[in-house]
């Protein structure tokens, strides 16, 4: 059986309110009744004290005092009786109650000097309910008698009934307002929950751009905020997954292309050698070509392995202080022949006292990759290898006068096998390959930074910044 949440909220609110009103009403009615009876009893006690006091001070005018008070009290629908120490009637006013109708225990308490107060009594003095007070007269510790004053409770009951009637009207009005407010609040909360439910359904259907109104007013508002954050994270995750999937497809396509070219060359040369289709004088050239392409395949595989190791933090850096000028000159010597093949000149500009804190082998790998990239895309130009200290950093610059890169494509060169421009894909190393991707990851592992500034047809500058901290943590 389905019980709607709005009705659950409504009935829970109303149940609590009704119970609270009933309890409060009963307590208030009891309090009012007690208060009215206590006030009536206090009034009777004060009359009793006044009568006894007047008679005590003017015993010769006892008759006049009794008649006077009898007249006054009768107008207030009160009666009184006086009795002696034997509880015999001494003087009785009009319609005065008889003291002997009291219980023996009550008479004993009165004889001890205790004032007897009864708020409501329906049996002692007949069928009509009364409030009565028995005030004993004690003189020098001796009981001489007292006075009994009674008042019918009909007027008191009528007043209490009137109060209860007003209380009932108030409760009914309050319950009506509570019904309305409970219904409105229940509908408000249910509508907010429905919005969350509808948004959840949209998310389950694949819509990760949905948002719901949120606030910090209550738990539902906080839940809506958490829901929006969750959807935003899912949306970013889905975009990242889509981007990774696109990159994976592109990577597989690029790797296939990279591997297909040398494999095709190797296969062609081997078939030619096998079928004696290559002249004797060109066989050595073909064998050299196969060797070069095989080395190229090995390099591609090694670069992929290196890249994955670097991405998964599976390599360890052994950092030390290295003289930068010496390293740059080593790069210059190693790449001299490659630069000369394209009529390029490599110039080193660094002071002997400039040092860099890095892993030696990985630093060589970084600089060779970037410098090779500059050589690949520069012809009849110059490549500068610069080093300098700047506060606590060591700055390395590699600048060329090559074809440059479109500024819009600069950030993309760190992606695996990224093709920046069709005019730059004829190099023997296969576009950008994995070199720059590895470079970026190695610099990040060194807690360093790398920036690229390039202008089409004017050249490119790589700026590497290493923190010059001795014994830096890996």
Report the SS3 class of residue 387. Answer: strand
Quick one: 348 and 251 in the same domain? no
Tell me what the mean pLDDT of segment 202-217 comes to. 79
Tell me what the mean pLDDT of segment 319-336 comes to. 91
Quote the CA–CA distance of 439 and 254 in Å, as a whole number.
19
Determine, yes or no, domain membership for 119: yes
CA angle centred on 275, ends 272 and 278, rounded to 5°: 40
- Flag the least confident range among 21-25, 213-217, 445-449: 213-217
Residue with the larger pLDDT of the pair 158 and 4 = 158
Q: What is the per-residue DSSP string for 397-432?
A: EEEE-SS---GGGGGGGGSTT----GGG--STT-TT
Share of the chain above pLDDT 70, in %: 83
Torsion region of 417: left, alpha or beta (phi above 0 gives left; psi -120 to 50 gives alpha):
left
Quick one: 345 and 446 in the same domain? yes
Tell me what the mean pLDDT of segment 170-181 comes to. 79
Nearest CA to 331 among 320, 339, 342, 343?
A: 339
Quick one: 133 and 265 in the same domain? no
Determine, yes or no, domain membership for 396: yes
pLDDT reported for residue 290: 84
pLDDT reported for residue 383: 95
Q: Which residues span the domain enclosing 64? A: 5-158
pLDDT digits (tens, 9 = 90+) for 10-54: 677 777 777 887 788 788 877 877 887 788 888 888 988 888 888
pLDDT of 328 over the 90 cut: yes
Report the SS3 class of residue 396. Answer: strand
pLDDT of 392 over the 60 cut: yes
CATH assignment of the domain containing 39:
3.30.450.20
Quote the CA–CA distance of 373 and 369 in Å, as a whole number.
6
pLDDT reported for residue 384: 95
Quote the CA–CA distance of 36 and 160 in Å, as a whole number.
8
Mean pLDDT over each residue of the chain, to the nearest integer: 79
pLDDT reported for residue 471: 43
| In the block, residue with structure tokens 């790797």 | 255
- Flag the least confident range among 13-17, 37-41, 168-172, 292-296: 13-17
Torsion region of 87: left, alpha or beta (phi above 0 gives left; psi -120 to 50 gives alpha):
left
Share of the chain above pLDDT 90, in %: 15
- Flag the least confident range among 38-42, 220-224, 238-242, 258-262: 258-262
pLDDT digits (tens, 9 = 90+) for 344-363: 999 999 999 999 999 888 89
Residue with the larger pLDDT of the pair 319 and 316 = 319
335 and 327 Cβ atoms separated by less than 8 Å: no
Split into its structural domains, the chain has a count of 3
pLDDT reported for residue 369: 85
pLDDT reported for residue 316: 79
pLDDT reported for residue 191: 80
Determine, yes or no, domain membership for 387: yes
Tell me what the mean pLDDT of segment 376-402 comes to. 92
pLDDT digits (tens, 9 = 90+) for 226-248: 888 888 888 888 888 887 788 77
pLDDT digits (tens, 9 = 90+) for 112-149: 888 888 877 777 666 567 788 888 988 888 888 888 88
Residue 430 pLDDT class (50, 70, 90 cuts) = very low
CB atoms closer than 10 angstroms to residue 21: 17
Residue with the larger pLDDT of the pair 341 and 304 = 341
Report the SS3 class of residue 278. Answer: coil
Domain end marker among 287, 307, 327: 307
Reduced DSSP (H G I as helix, E B as strand, rest coil) percent helix, strand, coil of the chain, to 5? 60, 20, 25
Determine, yes or no, domain membership for 96: yes
CA Rg value for the chain: 54
pLDDT of 183 over the 90 cut: no
Quick one: 303 and 378 in the same domain? no
Quick one: 265 and 406 in the same domain? no
Domain end marker among 307, 324, 348: 307
Quick one: 250 and 361 in the same domain? no
- Flag the least confident range among 122-131, 319-328, 385-394: 122-131
Quick one: 94 and 233 in the same domain? no
Quote the CA–CA distance of 110 and 51 in Å, as a whole number.
17
pLDDT reported for residue 385: 96
Spell out where 108-220 has E strands. Answer: 116-121, 130-139, 142-152
Determine, yes or no, domain membership for 177: no
Determine, yes or no, domain membership for 408: yes
Quote the distance between the C-alpha of residue 402 and its chain's center.
Answer: 53
Determine, yes or no, domain membership for 186: no
Quick one: 260 and 402 in the same domain? no
CATH assignment of the domain containing 326:
3.30.565.10
pLDDT of 92 over the 60 cut: no
Quote the CA–CA distance of 224 and 213 in Å, as a whole number.
7
pLDDT reported for residue 313: 67
pLDDT of 169 over the 60 cut: yes
pLDDT reported for residue 175: 76
Quick one: 326 and 373 in the same domain? yes
Determine, yes or no, domain membership for 266: yes
Q: Where is 382: in which H helix or E strand?
A: strand 382-390
Quick one: 72 and 98 in the same domain? yes
Residue 303 pLDDT class (50, 70, 90 cuts) = low
Residue with the larger pLDDT of the pair 102 and 372 = 372
Q: Where is 231: in which H helix or E strand?
A: helix 219-274
pLDDT reported for residue 144: 85
Quick one: 97 and 73 in the same domain? yes
CATH assignment of the domain containing 270:
1.10.287.130
Domain end marker among 109, 130, 158: 158
Quick one: 292 and 354 in the same domain? no
């Amino acid at each position: 059986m389905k019980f709607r949440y709005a009705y659950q909220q409504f009935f829970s609110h109303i149940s609590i309110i009704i119970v609270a009103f009933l309890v409060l009403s009963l307590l208030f009615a009891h309090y009012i009744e007690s208060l009215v009876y206590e006030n009536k009893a206090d009034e009777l006690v004060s009359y009793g004290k006044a009568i006894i006091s007047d008679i005590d001070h003017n015993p010769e005018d006892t008759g006049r005092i009794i008649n006077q008070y009898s007249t006054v009290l009768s107008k207030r629908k009160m009666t009184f009786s006086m009795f002696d120490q034997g509880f015999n009637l001494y003087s009785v006013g009009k319609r005065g109650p008889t003291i002997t109708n009291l219980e023996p225990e009550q008479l004993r308490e009165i004889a001890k000097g205790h004032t007897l107060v009864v708020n409501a009594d329906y049996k002692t003095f007949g069928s009509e309910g009364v409030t009565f007070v028995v005030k004993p007269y004690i003189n020098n510790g001796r009981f001489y008698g007292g006075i009994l004053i009674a008042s019918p409770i009909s007027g008191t009951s009528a007043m209490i009934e009137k109060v209860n009637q007003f209380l009932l009207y108030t409760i009914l009005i309050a319950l009506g307002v509570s019904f309305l407010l409970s219904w409105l609040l229940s509908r408000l909360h249910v509508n907010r929950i429905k919005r969350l439910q509808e948004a959840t359904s949209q998310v389950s259907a694949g819509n990760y751009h949905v948002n719901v109104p949120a606030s910090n007013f209550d738990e539902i508002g906080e839940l809506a905020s958490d829901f929006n954050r969750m959807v935003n994270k899912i949306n970013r995750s889905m975009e990242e997954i889509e981007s990774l999937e696109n990159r994976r497809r592109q990577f597989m396509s690029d790797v296939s292309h990279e591997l297909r070219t040398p494999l095709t060359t190797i296969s062609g040369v081997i078939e030619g050698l096998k079928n004696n289709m290559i002249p004797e004088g060109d066989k050595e050239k073909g064998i050299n070509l196969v060797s070069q392409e095989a080395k190229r395949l090995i390099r591609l595989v090694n670069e992929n392995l290196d890249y994955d190791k670097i991405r998964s933090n599976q390599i360890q850096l052994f950092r030390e202080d290295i003289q930068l000028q010496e390293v740059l000159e080593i790069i210059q010597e190693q790449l001299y022949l490659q630069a000369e093949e394209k009529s390029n000149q490599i110039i080193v500009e660094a002071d002997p006292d400039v040092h860099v804190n890095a892993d030696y082998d990985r630093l060589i790998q970084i600089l060779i990759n970037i410098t090779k990239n500059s050589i690949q895309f520069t012809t009849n130009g110059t490549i500068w290898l610069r080093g300098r200290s700047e506060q606590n950093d060591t700055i390395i610059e590699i600048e060329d006068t090559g074809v440059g890169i479109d500024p819009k494509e600069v950030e993309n060169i760190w992606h695996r096998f990224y093709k920046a421009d069709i005019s730059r894909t004829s190099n023997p190393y296969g576009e950008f390959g994995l070199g720059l991707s590895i470079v970026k990851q190695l610099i990040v592992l060194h807690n360093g930074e790398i920036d690229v500034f390039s202008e089409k047809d004017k050249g490119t500058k790589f700026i590497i910044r290493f923190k010059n901290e001795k014994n830096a943590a890996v």
